[in-house]
Amino acid sequence: MRRKILLKKSYQRIVINTLMILVLLIMGACAAKTTGDSEDSKNDQQGITDKENRNTETIEFVYWAAAGGEEEAFRNLIADFEAANPNIKVKAQQVPPPQQGDYYTKIRTRIAGNDAPDVFRVQYQMIGEFASQDALLDVSDVVGPTSDKFHPSLLTAVSLNNKIYGLPHHTDTLAVFYNKTYLDKLGIHPPTRIEKAWTWEEMLSVAKKIQDEKLASYGIAFNWKESSAYRSLPFFFQNGATLLTSDLKQANVNTPEAIETLRFLKKMFERYMSEGNSMKGSDDINLLFTSGKAGLLVSGNWMIPKWEEEMKNYEWGVTYMPVKKSPASDLGGNALAIPVNSKHPEAAKKFLEFMGEKENMKKFVEQGLFLPARTDIEGPLDYRLNNPDMMNLFIEQASTVPEELARTITIPQFAKINQALAESLEAMFKMGLSPEETAETLQEEINSILND
């Protein structure tokens, strides 16, 4: 009897152990299946990601932003572009402005080394040089269909031999910012109508009074540097002088009108400007104005957001460029161009096309405080300023840009001419060269460049 009981218990243990083994086997199998399913899912997801990566292009966009408004405008439009083109990503590379470094030297080096960015921001004055050296991609197929919507002078600036090498993105011009706190103390009321703009002598008289009353160390600051020496050209055209002959084939600097202009610039620099505000000087021009060390500043509309943010201790305003015989101002602004050896030319063209669309350009100029390159963008523009009417002065001033000036600064050789102009002005400002000697030297330099 006892033996039967023992056998029964032994049998029960065997059954229980067997069941436990079966349960463990089933659980292991389930676990293995779950792991397998997880790995399969992970692999599937990785495959999708790899496929997406293969279908996504990343274009590099190199640009500068001189003031807060345009930096924000670029960031916002890049985000809009990526949302509209999910297979294209933009690697935005913001760098110091050309007048603060060797921007174009680096661009040239990268193009020559087959390491070019896909899109880069470029001044109109530089398009001719790059295009004449076959360094830019022909984008006539992008800009051409809407070419009648752009200002003719800006379209001329990005064209060479009937081909278009850049997108005219915006324009701007120069005027005279003033420290209103100082002028109020002097009882001076700046002109509010272009036909009443200060003469050369009147502007220098205001600068002298600012210094004589010890309101500021310097009467005038000028937003120019070696790379933007061309910003001096409006003074030539205000006096009936030109840098080149009408056919753009010879220099035209050694004339009484041009020499008189050089004499005025020398007087303005030596008597009313900081030594560090020369062509190669190291002074921070903007800081001269915001700190109250300079009472007047010749600069552009893109700086308005900066003054609204940083001019805490002074009131300020803006008036027109001075005149001699006639009004004139600078053809400013920038284009967007694609290097000829861009690694993603089609994606880069899509980016250019997007930036040139009417609504996108309108957003950019409103946020960046510029004037649109397209003629079909109608006002009123929503400039985000405390005093948006201030932009109307720049719009009016832009109408004084001489056609001859626009033709001059967009010839292929202008980059070299601009360098010669900077060197000549620097020699006159800092090395004691007379206006007559400066005119003769510059005449020879320009003719050498044009005849090479």
| Concatenated DSSP letters of 199-265 | BHHHHHHHHHHHHHTTS-SEEEEE---GGGGGGGHHHHHHTT--SB-TTSSSB--SSHHHHHHHHHH
Query: How much is the pLDDT for 81?
Result: 98
- Rounded to whole angstroms, the Cα distance separating 376 from 372 reads 9
**Section 168-174 average pLDDT:** 94
Query: How much is the pLDDT for 40?
Result: 52
Structure confidence by residue, pLDDT tens digits, 384-405: 888 888 898 998 998 898 888 9
- Rounded to whole angstroms, the Cα distance separating 207 from 342 reads 49
Confidence at 33, pLDDT banded by 50, 70, 90: very low
Confidence at 3, pLDDT banded by 50, 70, 90: very low
Whether 36 shows a pLDDT value over 80: the answer reads no
Q: What whole-number percentage of the chain has pLDDT above 70?
A: 87
Confidence at 407, pLDDT banded by 50, 70, 90: confident
Q: Is residue 172 within 8 Å of 301, Cβ to Cβ?
A: yes
Whether 148 shows a pLDDT value over 60: the answer reads yes
**Section 123-152 average pLDDT:** 94
Structure confidence by residue, pLDDT tens digits, 51-109: 445 689 999 999 999 766 889 999 999 999 999 999 999 999 999 888 667 899 999 99
Query: How much is the pLDDT for 430?
Result: 96
Whether residue 168 is preceded by a cis peptide bond, meaning omega within 30 degrees of 0, is no
- Give the containing element (helix H, strand E) for 373: none
Whether 115 shows a pLDDT value over 80: the answer reads yes
- Rounded to whole angstroms, the Cα distance separating 67 from 367 reads 11
Q: Which of 29-38, 152-161, 204-213, 393-402 has the lowest mean pLDDT?
A: 29-38
Query: How much is the pLDDT for 5?
Result: 39
Q: Which two tokens stand for residue 6?
A: 């023992």
Q: Is residue 117 within 8 Å of 343, Cβ to Cβ?
A: no
Query: How much is the pLDDT for 230?
Result: 95
Q: Is 17 exposed, middle or buried (0-12, 13-18, 19+ CB in 10 A)?
A: exposed
Query: How much is the pLDDT for 45?
Result: 53
Structure confidence by residue, pLDDT tens digits, 217-254: 999 999 999 989 999 999 999 999 999 999 999 999 99
- DSSP E strands, 282-360: 294-300, 316-319, 334-337
Q: How many CB atoms lie within 10 A of CB 130?
A: 24
Q: What Å distances lie between residue 288 and 275, 284, 291, 344, CA to CA?
A: 12, 6, 6, 43
Spatial CA neighbour of 180 closest among 348, 86, 292:
292
Torsion of the alpha carbons at 275, 278, 280 and 285, rounded to the nearest 10: 90
Q: Which two tokens stand for residue 139?
A: 């984008």
